[in-house]
């Protein structure tokens, strides 16, 4: 994805009023999830600066109604809220993958009735720290998640949306798919904003 395009986008949205800024920032961040090519995206909204945390509290219902995205607030503190936005079908596909399910069972997940049960378990594990299995929810291949867990200090062979230890071609292909979603979202918002 072009850095110049992202910079231009950030400059344009920084000049927007608060609600529009929040929506435009979220749309950029979660575009691959909105498109269904990424099962979920984690976003932390801070109370500092534009106080996106407060704006989220104020406008989340409207945002969710407009964009039809699912979410769970994984953690809320006095400084920020961490949210997992998810595409229900895409998330179910990764959660019920045989190898992912096996791994989640090994680390204590027991209720497999629906994605909400997985998400509630993830939220409970998120209280103290960001659990490594979040990678599965985010669509990171299980072999990459396991490689990171085995040795977080191990040097990766490539870094993009995640640290790649194993299959660089597969990862780059997925990163390109995510970049295309974000680029399309940027162009759509800029076209509306700048009437290009």
The angle, 0 to 180 degrees and rounded to 10, between the axes of the packed helices 88-95 and 98-106 is 70
3-state secondary structure of 97: coil
Look-up: residue for tokens 């190898």? 99
Average pLDDT over residues 98-106: 96
Taking the C-alpha atoms of residue 126 and residue 53, their distance in angstroms, rounded to an integer, is: 18
| pLDDT higher than 90, residue 193 | no
C-alpha 26, offset from chain centre:
10
3-state secondary structure of 164: strand
Single out the residue of 34, 152, 86, 67 nearest to residue 95, CA to CA.
86
Average pLDDT over residues 141-151: 95
In sequence order, which residues have a C-beta less than 8 Å from that of residue 25 and are 6 or more positions away? Answer: 13, 52
What's the pLDDT band for 156 if we cut at 50, 70, 90? Answer: very high
pLDDT in tens, 32-85: 999 999 999 999 999 998 999 999 999 999 999 999 999 999 999 999 999 999
What's the pLDDT band for 195 if we cut at 50, 70, 90? Answer: low
What's the pLDDT band for 165 if we cut at 50, 70, 90? Answer: very high
Domains in the chain: boundaries: 3-194
pTM listed for this prediction: 0.94
Percent of the chain with pLDDT over 70: 99
The answer to whether 6 and 29 are in contact (CB under 8 A) is no
pLDDT (0 to 100) of residue 137: 98
């Amino acid at each position: 994805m072009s850095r110049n395009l992202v910079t231009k986008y950030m400059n344009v949205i920084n000049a927007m009023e608060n609600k529009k800024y929040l929506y435009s920032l979220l749309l950029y961040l979660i575009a691959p999830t909105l498109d269904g090519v990424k099962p979920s995206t984690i976003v932390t909204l801070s109370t500092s600066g534009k106080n996106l945390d407060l704006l989220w509290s104020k406008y989340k219902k409207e945002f969710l109604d407009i964009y039809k995205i699912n979410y769970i607030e994984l953690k809320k503190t006095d400084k920020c809220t961490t949210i997992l936005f998810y595409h229900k079908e895409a998330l179910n596909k990764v959660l019920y993958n045989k190898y992912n399910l096996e791994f989640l069972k090994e680390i204590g997940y027991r209720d497999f009735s629906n994605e909400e049960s997985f998400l509630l378990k993830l939220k409970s594990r998120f209280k103290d720290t960001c659990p490594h299995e979040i990678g599965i929810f985010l669509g990171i291949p299980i072999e990459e998640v396991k490689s990171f867990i085995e040795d977080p200090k191990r040097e990766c062979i490539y870094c993009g949306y995640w640290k790649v230890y194993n299959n660089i071609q597969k990862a780059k292909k997925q990163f390109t798919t995510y970049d295309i979603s974000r680029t399309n979202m940027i162009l759509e918002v800029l076209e509306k904003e700048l009437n290009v």
